[in-house]
Amino acid sequence: MLGRLVAILTFSRRTGSLTGPAKVIDGDTIVVAGQLVRLHGIDAPELDQTFWWRGQKLVCGTMALAALEAITAGVKVRCKVVERDRHGRLVAKVFAPDGVDVGRRLVSAGWALAYRRYSTDYVDAEDEARKAKRGMWRGSFLKPWVWRASSPPRGTPTPSRIVPISGPRR
């Protein structure tokens, strides 16, 4: 059995593809066959990123994660590897069993943006989502790369991130 598994994984590496159930990490990152995979050509909001809609501050990062989970739940996805990024993750176009491009679906739904810095594959889908006011486009938000650049590094305490442990001191 182990020999067969090694042969399958070796074959997959040679063809530049992975197939299997997806474990969603955030709105543009999954784990497939034990490999961390970043979806090619898109940038989704970070998990704690927010947007404003109808006077309410909503967490678009968790909404993007939920959208990716909904697309990949209970199915085996196919990842066509494009490259490895500077963080060591595989970057891949990801497809659902029905052939749907998962990145395109997220951008079309308004829960991710075309990441023009790396690809123009989904610019048309983003334009369509913006015009139709889908997902984040129905409110106001910072583009994920702008939000990351303007936010403190993760783990840095800020007044809005500090939660009192025992209530106010007297």
Q: Which residues are catalytic?
A: 38, 46, 89
Q: Quote the CA–CA distance of 69 and 73 in Å, as a whole number.
A: 5
User: Which amino acid is it at 102?
Assistant: V
Tell which phi-psi region holds residue 33, choosing left (phi > 0), alpha (psi between -120 and 50) or beta: left
Cross-strand bridge partners of residue 20: 77
Query: How far apart (Å, rounded) are the C-alpha atoms in residues 58 and 47?
Result: 11
Query: Is residue 39 a contact partner of residue 95, using CB atoms and an 8 Å limit?
Result: no
Handedness of CA 100, 105, 108, 114 (dihedral sign): negative
Q: List all residues 6 or more positions away from 58 whose beta carbon is below 8 Å from its beta carbon.
A: 50, 51, 52, 139
Q: Whose structure tokens read 């199915």?
A: 75
